[in-house]
Amino acid sequence: MVRLLNYLNEHSVMLKRIFFLFLILTVVFDLYVKRHEIHFFGDAIIGFWSLFGIVGCLGMIIVCKGLSHVWLMKKEDYYDK
């Protein structure tokens, strides 16, 4: 497991490019998908759900990281008191 994590850490730029390529391919695939009835305004916009997903994930990361700093993080000398 440690070897795998070290490998992924050493090749982080390659992994980032692969993930962005996958996101681009998802949007391109959305261009060719036959659409059924539009139930929501986002259904009519090409790539909406891909962008919605990435923005939602980034938003959750930012919010959760902010909450963890507010509620969970303690000062360095917390246990010395």
Mean pLDDT of all residues in the chain?
85
| Whether 54 contacts 20, CB under 8 Å | no
Question: Which DSSP string corresponds to 35-73?
Answer: P----SGGGGSTTHHHHHHHHHHHHHHHHHHHHIIIII-
Average pLDDT over residues 31-38: 79
Q: How confident is the model at residue 34 (pLDDT cuts 50, 70, 90)?
A: confident
Place of tokens 């139930």: 39
pLDDT interval class at 60 (50, 70, 90): very high
Q: What is the three-class DSSP state of 1?
A: coil
User: Who's near 12: CB < 8 A, 6+ residues apart?
Assistant: none
